[in-house]
Homo-oligomer: A and B are copies of this chain.
Amino acid sequence: MIPIARPFARIAERLRGVGLRPTRQRLSLGRILFAKGDRHVTAEMLHDEAQADGVRVSLATVYNTLNQFTAAGLLREVAVDTGRSYFDTNTSRHHHFYDHRGRELTDIPAEGLRVQGLPRPPEGLAIDRIDVVVRLKKA
């Protein structure tokens, strides 16, 4: 059975499953991140949102948590803008539209999108993953 995304599922279990103690801060941030479907957040956005929700958590912890979640495969980092890291709650294979004016990311499902005709990677290296970023402008 394929594990389906379950918004309010046992976040504590998920954390324990990847070897992270389910602390108050990690549970709160996990709830914010995973309760609302696919999201793209920066550390600052998540910190602000936590404050707004009345969750007391330091910016350092937000950074630690985002990095730990990413290392554990709960999040994925998206590089579209130098000088700002986006973290994506959708860790399955997919791509992005990026509106650099609104600094907004939108998912492009992997299904249906094909990248064909890639050359062989340089000697001694293999493809880790393919990121397609479709940069947008005003129509």
Contact = CB atoms under 8 A, between A and B. Distances in A.
Interface of A: 77, 79-85, 97, 99, 106, 108-109, 112-119, 121-122, 124-139
Contact of A136 (B77, B109, B125): B125
A89 to B, nearest CB: 18
B124 A130 contact: no
Given A97-B122, A127-B135, A127-B136, 5 more contacts: A115-B132, A121-B134, A125-B137, A125-B138, A128-B135
24 contacts: A79-B79, A79-B80, A82-B84, A82-B85, A83-B83, A97-B125, A108-B118, A109-B119, A113-B116, A113-B117, A113-B118, A114-B116, A121-B134, A121-B136, A122-B136, A125-B136, A125-B137, A125-B139, A126-B139, A128-B136, A129-B134, A130-B133, A131-B132, A131-B134
Contact of A125 (B77, B99, B117, B132): B99
